[in-house]
Amino acid sequence: MNNLNLAWRNLWRNRRRTMITSASIFFAVFFALVMRSIQLGSYDHMYKNVIESYTGYIQVQHKDFWDEKIVDNTFAYDRQLERQLLEDENVEASIPRFESFALASNGPQTKGVLVMGVDPEKERYLSKVTDKMVKYRLTPEALEKIKQDSNLPEKVKELAILFENSAYTNNSRMQLDLGIDDKLASEIMPSIESYTAFQNASIHMGEPGVWVGDKLSQYLQLGIGDTIVLISQGYHATTAAGKYEIKGIVKLPLPDIDNKIVYLPLDICQELYNAEGNLTSLALAVSNNRDKTIAETVQRISKLVSEEHKVMEWREMNEVMVSQMDADDKGGQIMLGILYLVIAFGVFGTVLMLTAERKREFGVLVAIGMQKKKLASIMTLEMLLIGLLGILSGALVASVLILYGVEHPIVFKGETAKMFEEYGMEPKMAFWTIGTYYISQILIVALMVLLAIGYPIRKIFGMNLVNALRA
């Protein structure tokens, strides 16, 4: 009978013990993977939010713009350069932008705002701002109608009051906030949608008109059709002042930007700042956003642009966020370390018990003539099998959960969602799909098992036969 066979039989001789030991490894792998997945997923989600609604992956700028973001540091929109950039294999589209600050006011309300001159058509390739237009809003009038609708459950009405003035870009988020489950949704959502429907219009190149962020519109108490006044300093210290009709309200997933953004058609914005034909940045939409590919693309593009320009990568443009995430990542790794420590002691504890339990058995085996070496190798095989069982089942169950999570991110609703938003975060927990992080997590757990094996092996070789038989 070979060692493996013996080990296998030994495992199932005492099923409960095997189960407990492998369960501790199972949980180690499971928690480590899920935790890591959520962590990486949230970073990715946050990066995507910022990159895709704001900076883009790569930007071409005037060389001084990043250090001093003034309209004097802009560059002429060069169509020939743009054509050259578009020829690059990884560049899908170029999105011209004119970005600056202004003081916005409506009557006595005033606030410093971020002014973005965009080409609404081209933004489809990157920020997809048209998708972020507010479609529903729980205005006081809408609330009144909801309250009077006898078909609606009380719970929905209560939640609606809690979310007064909230804006939604799609009906599913509103459904979540109002705590309506899918079964009920088909019945009552249509009427809620009709009460809360929000009229929003588009902005177009050449037509004066603006979109404002939802939070900003609430602060300045502006609605569709109202006029916003912008005042700032323009190109070469001219006065930039203009008043524009609000055509639409957008809700961006980044509350920090949502509360200060004003979108203008690019040419209108250039006119406002007296910088006709100039851009602050030319953002590039890429087809492959892997770090390495982006770095290569940046290198290729840097050769195309003149000395007056500078090519920036998203990491440089979002330095604060990247370092925040890095710090958070380190914190997460410390948490994982603590998790490993706890689990390592758990595994070690079970092994310790297992060894003590089988002390007599080992003694008998050696007494009837089994070599200690053979016994040790069987023991090792047993432990490895337990480890393998735990790791495989842990990875399997975690993968199922993670794959489900990738498709269905955890979206918080009700008051928790409101709390998240107050902290400036999107009430959403995303998962990161199965990836290379699996390897390191599994290796660490495997290492823990290997370390734990050391104990029974030492016990076997250092066994005092008489004592063992008496145990």
CB 95, min distance to another protein, A: 27
Look up residue 195 and give its two tokens.
């009460």
Is residue 105 near another protein by the rule CB under 8 A? yes
Alpha-carbon dihedral of residues 41, 42, 43, 46, nearest 10 degrees? Answer: 120
CA-to-CA separations, 40 to 146, 176, 438, in angstroms, rounded: 40, 25, 12
CB 65, min distance to another protein, A: 14
CB 280, min distance to another protein, A: 16
Q: What's the 3-state SS for 13-76?
A: HCHHHHHHHHHHHHHHHHHHHHHHHHHHHHHHHHHHHHHHHHHCCEEEEECCCCCCCCCCCCEE
User: Considering CB under 8 A, how many residues would be counted as binding another protein?
Assistant: 14
Q: Which stretch binds another protein (CB under 8 A): 226-234, 258-266, 369-377, 457-465?
A: 226-234
Is residue 231 near another protein by the rule CB under 8 A? yes
Looking at the Cβ atoms of 229 and 403, the one nearer to another protein is 229
Which residues, listed in sequence order, are joined to residue 201 by a DSSP beta bridge? none
Q: Which stretch binds another protein (CB under 8 A): 75-83, 233-241, 370-378, 417-425?
A: 233-241
Question: Of the candidates 237, 367, 450, 466, which one interacts with another protein according to CB under 8 A?
Answer: 237
Closest CA to 367 of 240, 470, 437, 454: 470
Pairing outcome for strands 109-118 and 261-265 = parallel
Helix axes 372-407, 15-50, angle to 10 degrees: 40
Q: By the 8 A CB rule, do 211 and 133 touch?
A: yes
* CB neighbour list of residue 243: distance below 8 Å, 6 or more residues apart: 227, 228, 229, 230
Is residue 3 near another protein by the rule CB under 8 A? no
Spatial distance between the Cα atoms of 64 and 68, rounded to a whole number of angstroms: 6
Q: Which stretch binds another protein (CB under 8 A): 3-11, 29-37, 165-173, 228-236?
A: 228-236
Tell me what percent of the chain is helix, strand and coil, each rounded to the nearest 5: 55, 20, 25
Is residue 76 near another protein by the rule CB under 8 A? no
φ/ψ of residue 462, rounded to 5: -95, 15
Look up residue 418 and give its two tokens.
């409101």
Looking at the Cβ atoms of 171 and 274, the one nearer to another protein is 274
- Read off the amino acid at residue 281: S
Question: Of the candidates 148, 238, 299, 323, which one interacts with another protein according to CB under 8 A?
Answer: 238
Helix axes 372-407, 437-461, angle to 10 degrees: 160
Q: Which stretch binds another protein (CB under 8 A): 184-192, 237-245, 347-355, 371-379?
A: 237-245
Q: Which stretch binds another protein (CB under 8 A): 86-94, 230-238, 297-305, 424-432?
A: 230-238
Q: Is 430 exposed, middle or buried (0-12, 13-18, 19+ CB in 10 A)?
A: buried
Question: Of the candidates 6, 184, 189, 241, which one interacts with another protein according to CB under 8 A?
Answer: 241
Looking at the Cβ atoms of 179 and 208, the one nearer to another protein is 208
Is residue 191 near another protein by the rule CB under 8 A? no
Spatial distance between the Cα atoms of 216 and 281, rounded to a whole number of angstroms: 24
Query: What 3-state class would DSSP assign to 463?
Result: coil
Spatial distance between the Cα atoms of 29 and 22, rounded to a whole number of angstroms: 11
Q: Which stretch binds another protein (CB under 8 A): 133-141, 235-243, 306-314, 335-343?
A: 235-243
Q: Is the dihedral of CA 87, 88, 94, 100 positive or negative?
A: negative
Looking at the Cβ atoms of 65 and 195, the one nearer to another protein is 65
Looking at the Cβ atoms of 104 and 298, the one nearer to another protein is 104
Is residue 236 near another protein by the rule CB under 8 A? yes
Is residue 94 near another protein by the rule CB under 8 A? no
Q: Which stretch binds another protein (CB under 8 A): 30-38, 126-134, 240-248, 449-457?
A: 240-248
Is residue 267 near another protein by the rule CB under 8 A? no
Looking at the Cβ atoms of 126 and 220, the one nearer to another protein is 220
Is residue 210 near another protein by the rule CB under 8 A? no
Residues in region 45-74 near another protein by CB under 8 A: 72
Is residue 397 near another protein by the rule CB under 8 A? no
Is residue 243 near another protein by the rule CB under 8 A? yes
Looking at the Cβ atoms of 117 and 427, the one nearer to another protein is 117
131-165: b (≥16 Cβ within 10 Å) or e: ebbbbbbbbeebbeebeeeeebeeebbebbebbee
CB 176, min distance to another protein, A: 41
Is residue 239 near another protein by the rule CB under 8 A? yes
CB 272, min distance to another protein, A: 10
Residues that bind another protein (CB under 8 A): 72, 105, 229-231, 233, 236-239, 241-243, 274
